[in-house]
Structure formats: structure tokens, C-alpha cells
């Protein structure tokens, strides 16, 4: 399947900072791509650092001024699934900053006891989808799964965090993936959950806002702290503009009860 995606980010670097960008699809399935970065009108060349599961992090040592990032990619076919080892499975069973699985253990057992595999993923996805309302700008960057469940609303990252926390509480390895999502409305960087059952990783998206079969993996990690499209260290950076686009040749139907692997 051919997909085209990209993003434009404009930030003001108030004080010199190290800026880490996660906007490029993970290793393995980019056909062509272009990344242009400028600060105060001068072109700069980021260095690429390889992260977990093929995540490509583009790092810029940014001086004060307006930084503009333009990225575009054409993606064809499906990349091989990232290699999984036992350390990965153990890592994604632990509670993390935004996925407080230890606090949600009693809730998870009460709601999903006895379910396994595809049945469990479908039940968790449906449960989260019916209990939360998708409300743009309704959550704070510091909100985790527990606060999301109490608020009963959120955006894609909040849905993903709650799914991951519930699955980890049931001893199912689960993680968060940032993706380009053709068909998404409103268009943005999208976050989904990925769970390890029956020997493979399968994508779970309770928002049902985009077909899972068209998603393009960008960054993979414990939660949003590992998958943010932009992070800044050692200085002050203010986001001024963000636009994202993603299209696919076709948008297939998506049965939430079907197991789907992320390319």
C-alpha cells in the first residue's frame, strides 16, 4: 500500500537547546523522504540517532531564533515487524509515567477476567471506546491513564495510555506507538496502543478514527514520554505551528475485532 505523509513544525528557540524530533517513519519502509530544517532562515543539518524499535530521532543543536522543520515521505509496502526479545516483553509489562497499570489492576481484573488473546484486545478496545469521549484539547500533557479514566475524556494519547495500562495490569505486554494515520480527522500525529498476544504485536486503537491497516509507525515506547514528536533539553523552546498530513491510496474498512499488525 502506497502512503504519503509529512509534517511542518515551527518553534521559537528562546534559549539555546538540544531539540529531538521524531517525525520520520521508523526504519524499514520509506521509499523517498525529505527533511529540511532551518533556524533564523539558515539551513541546518540534524544528526540522526537510532532509538528503540527502529525509531529515528533527528537531533538539532538549536541556537535562538525561529526554527522551521519540513518533513515529507512516500511509503510503500509494509516494513518487517521490529525484533522483539524477552527484555522488551518485560519492559512493556511494567508501570510507566503515563500508564499506571499498578493503580488500575483491580479495575482490569474486574472488567476483563478470563479473557485472552484477540478476545481480550477487542474487549479492552470496546470498553475504553465506550467510556471515553474524544474531546480535542481536553487533557493536559501531564495526564496519565488514571486521570483519563476519571475525566472520561481525552485525545488519542489518552486512549492509548488507558489501553496500555489496562493490558499491562493483566500481564499483557503493551506499548504506545506514534503514527502517521491516513484518514484521521482531525489530522495530527496519532497515538495508538500495541499489544503482544499470540506471539505477535497487534495495534489497538479505541478512537477508531483511522483504519489501522494504513498506519505508518514513527516512534515506539513505554508511553508518550518516549514517542513525542518534539522534545527540547537544556533551553527554552515554544511551539508556534504544527501541521500534519497523511494520505493513502485506499482507506480499507476496519473491524475492531480483527487482529491487525502495524507495518
Class of domain 86-218: alpha beta
Residues 259, 263: Cα–Cα separation, whole Å:
13
Residue 256: its pLDDT value, please?
77
Q: pLDDT (tens digit, 9 = 90+) per residue, 191-229?
A: 999 999 999 999 999 999 999 999 999 999 999 999 999
Q: Binning pLDDT at 50, 70 and 90, where does residue 255 land? A: confident
- The answer to whether 26 touches 219, Cβ cutoff 8 Å, is yes
As a three-state string, the secondary structure of 146-169 is: HHHHHHCEECHHHHHHHHHHHHHH
Residues 197, 13: Cα–Cα separation, whole Å:
43
Residue 165: its pLDDT value, please?
98
**Ranges of each domain in the chain:** 86-218
Q: Binning pLDDT at 50, 70 and 90, where does residue 118 land? A: very high
Amino acid at each position: 500500500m502506497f502512503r504519503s505523509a509529512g509534517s511542518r513544525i515551527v518553534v521559537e528557540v528562546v534559549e539555546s537547546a538540544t531539540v529531538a524530533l521524531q517525525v520520520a517513519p521508523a526504519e524499514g519502509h520509506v521509499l523517498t523522504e525529505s527533511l529540511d530544517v532551518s533556524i533564523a532562515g539558515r539551513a541546518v543539518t540534524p544528526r540522526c540517532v537510532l532509538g528503540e524499535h527502529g525509531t529515528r530521532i533527528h537531533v538539532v543543536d538549536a541556537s535562538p531564533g525561529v526554527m522551521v522543520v519540513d518533513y515529507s515521505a512516500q511509503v510503500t509496502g509494509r516494513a518487517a515487524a521490529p525484533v522483539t526479545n524477552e527484555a522488551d516483553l518485560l519492559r512493556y509489562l511494567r508501570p510507566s509515567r503515563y500508564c499506571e497499570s499498578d493503580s488500575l489492576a483491580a479495575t482490569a481484573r474486574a472488567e476483563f477476567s478470563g479473557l485472552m488473546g484477540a478476545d481480550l484486545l477487542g474487549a479492552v478496545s470496546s470498553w475504553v471506546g465506550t467510556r471515553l469521549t474524544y474531546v480535542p484539547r481536553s487533557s493536559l500533557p501531564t495526564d496519565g491513564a488514571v486521570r483519563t479514566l476519571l475525566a472520561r475524556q481525552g485525545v488519542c494519547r489518552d486512549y492509548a495510555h488507558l489501553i496500555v495500562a489496562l493490558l499491562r495490569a493483566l500481564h499483557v505486554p503493551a506499548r504506545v506507538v506514534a503514527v502517521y494515520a491516513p484518514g484521521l480527522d482531525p489530522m495530527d500525529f496519532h497515538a495508538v496502543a500495541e499489544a503482544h498476544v499470540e506471539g505477535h504485536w497487534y495495534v489497538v486503537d479505541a478512537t477508531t478514527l483511522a483504519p489501522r491497516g494504513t498506519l505508518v509507525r514513527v516512534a515506539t515506547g513505554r508511553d508518550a514520554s518516549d514517542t513525542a514528536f518534539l522534545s527540547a533539553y537544556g533551553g527554552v523552546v515554544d511551539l508556534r505551528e504544527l501541521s500534519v498530513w497523511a494520505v493513502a491510496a485506499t482507506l480499507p474498512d476496519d473491524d475492531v475485532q480483527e487482529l491487525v499488525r502495524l507495518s
